[in-house]
Chain A
Amino acid sequence: MSAGLRERIEEVRALYPEPRSAILPALRLAQEEHGGWLPPAALREVADALDLTPAICAAVASFYDQLHLEPVGRHLVEVCTNVSCALVGAQEVVEAFERELGIAAGSTTEDGEVTLATVECLGGCGWATVVAVDNRHRLRVAAEDVPAIVEELRSGGAT
């Protein structure tokens, strides 16, 4: 484990009365360090830093949608398809991304650049369709906005 990660986990651990409470922030930090997902080594690092076991870390990580136990692309595109977004055209946005990226929602481009997923409500129902690009919310996205977003990702713009 990098000294930087260890230090940052120590910092969040100190915020809580019980070390285990720091597990979500620690897993988030480890995931950022490991390229967007939690390989077994990352779970062991968090476990060591918080005096837990890798099994506890895996059990917790598997419960939360934002923690990934399998590799994801360098960029993560998540389209909300819950009711409010769906009513005003989220499916067209999903299909536009599938077309532009050449993959089905739920998968990653062959070059490992972009993972496309549909997700449950992102809490932006009045600004539909909401698309999270690398966890940043794009609001009022329409199908015709999709080619530009994909171009931005492919040219390495967004992070």
Chain B
Amino acid sequence: MAGRPELVFAGTDGGAVTEIDDYVARGGFAALAKARAMDPDEVIAAVEASGLRGRGGAFFPTGRKWTFVPKPETVPKPHDLVVNADESEPGTFKDREIMLRVPFRFLEGCLIAAYAISARHVFVYIRGEYEREFEVLRSALEQMRARDLLGEVTVVLHRGAGAYICGEETALLESLEGKRGQPRTKPPFPAVAGLYAAPTAVNNVESIATVTVVLEVGPEEYAQIGVPGSTGTRVFSLSGNVVNPGNYELPHGITLRELIYDIGGGIPNGRALKAIIPGGSSTPILTADDIDTKLDFESLAAAGSSIGSAGVIVIDDRCCMVQLGIRVSQFYEHESCGKCTPCRVGTRWLTQILEKIEEGRAEQADLDLLLSVCDRILGKCLCPLGDSDAIAVASYVSRFREEFQAHVDLGRCPFDGASSLEGILAPSAMHERLPVSVPVSA
């Protein structure tokens, strides 16, 4: 389709390519052969020239990240590539579709990246809940082994076991070392001292699959797509109150209006658009007035938000923003690893203050307290988890201040039980409402 280049999903015709012969017939592994004929530094230079930036959420230039990994001559320890397939940011479900539909393109990218940083070990840390995705990758990997495509590289598919925090790169490394997934102090950064204190590149699934694309089409061609600063395509995850939710690979720089209305079919049941979370639940919320904002790094930053993981959540006019805040805060509270006090305690406080506002028990000072707690979390923790909660909640207050004020003034929720999030049962609240469990007698 014109204007909608498929790169990551190229050759799938809307389906999946899970047989190696089909992948080879579509030109598969040509990029790997091309890379292995180049000097590793030339591969890194090509990825840098493409403008590819990390698709996990931080948008850090992929090639530049690899330049931080010391050369084997200077640090003789074994080098590792760790792929972050622990996709868990609410609103984001693209990596699983990439693993299901183009497992070979992804694994080919792993081998190219390993070659670029001189890694002999690749660990794919895949979230424990992704069982089918694990099986598809395992089958693809077996087929590649049978063709002797791995060379001297070992690839281990490592399943997580249910912890959002393990998507943070240093928590992921702790988890991969067999520990509780608690983030490390940085520096040192993983490039210097990562897995088993050895030089390690940690990259997201979509980034790695795109590395294959960059080698296939060439960096100059790739950089032509999208917009300057945000080159190439992005797999946008569209969810919430929208007619056609799903994953859509589109060039950076398309607008929210094009994604939500032209492609997503608009808001169901004739409801009005109220808010948009553009990059996963940790990104600041936008309002219906921002509908013409472009989906690229700089445009979203200018709009006061972030492209994050490109998980776009559409919210219609039935949703109470205080309830949204409660639900999002309950999530971060549940997932806080507990290592840093501002996050461990602050996320709990945010939930409690928001519940007080929702239940009509809040005084004016509680609104200030809410924002003050946000300030006391921001920038004061080892990792961005607590920040995510604070940034999200503070954005709901700043963008929908009148709605928060109305809860205080009326002494109740103005939605009168009709909000789309009314009564939603979060896992953290589920445990609290149950009676004390009676232990089974031994």
Contact = CB atoms under 8 A, between A and B. Distances in A.
Interface of A: 15-25, 27-28, 50, 59-60, 63-67, 70-71, 81-84, 86-88, 90-91, 94, 104-107, 117-128, 132, 135-137
Interface string B23-50: 0000000000000000000000000000
3 closest A-B pairs by beta carbon, nearest first, are A65-B162, A20-B178, A66-B162
Given A104-B433, A106-B434, A65 B245 contact: no
10 contacts: A21-B177, A23-B178, A28-B161, A65-B163, A66-B161, A83-B327, A86-B420, A106-B434, A126-B246, A128-B245
A83 B281 contact: yes
Contact of A123 (B96, B241, B425, B431): B96
Contacts of B240: 83-84, 87-88, 125
Contacts of B328: 83
Contacts of B177: 18, 20-21
Contacts of A60: 178-180
Contact of A117 (B241, B277, B430, B437): B430
Interface string B120-146: 010000011111100000000000000
B129 A135 contact: yes
Contacts of B327: 81-83, 86
Interface of B: 78, 87-93, 96, 121, 127-132, 156, 158-164, 175-181, 196, 237-241, 245-247, 277, 281, 311, 313, 315-316, 319, 324, 327-328, 331, 334-335, 337, 420-427, 430-431, 433-434, 437, 440
Instruction: Name the residue in B88, B237, B425 with the highest tally of chain A Cβ atoms < 10 Å from its Cβ.
Output: B425
Given A60-B178, A123-B87, A128-B239, 13 more contacts: A24-B161, A65-B163, A66-B129, A71-B440, A81-B426, A83-B324, A84-B239, A105-B430, A117-B430, A118-B430, A121-B164, A123-B92, A124-B96
Nearest to B315: A87
A28 B162 CA distance: 11
Contacts of A67: 161-162
Contacts of A127: 93, 245-246
Contacts of B421: 83, 86-87
Nearest to A52: B178
A63 B180 contact: yes
Contacts of B196: 17-18
A132 B164 CA distance: 17
B295 to A, nearest CB: 16
B238 to A, nearest CB: 6
A84 B161 CA distance: 22
Nearest to A90: B424
Given A59-B180, A86-B421, A123-B96, A25 B159 contact: yes
Contacts of A107: 434
B420 A87 contact: yes
Nearest to A98: B425
A27 B247 CA distance: 33
Contacts of B430: 105-106, 117-118
Nearest to A84: B239
Contact of B424 (A22, A86, A136): A86
Nearest to B245: A126
Contacts of B313: 83-84, 87, 125
Given A21-B177, A118-B427, A66 B434 contact: no
Given A88-B240, A118-B425, A24 B130 contact: no
B434 A21 contact: no
Contact of B88 (A59, A118, A123, A137): A123
Given A64-B161, A67-B162, A83-B324, A126 B247 contact: yes
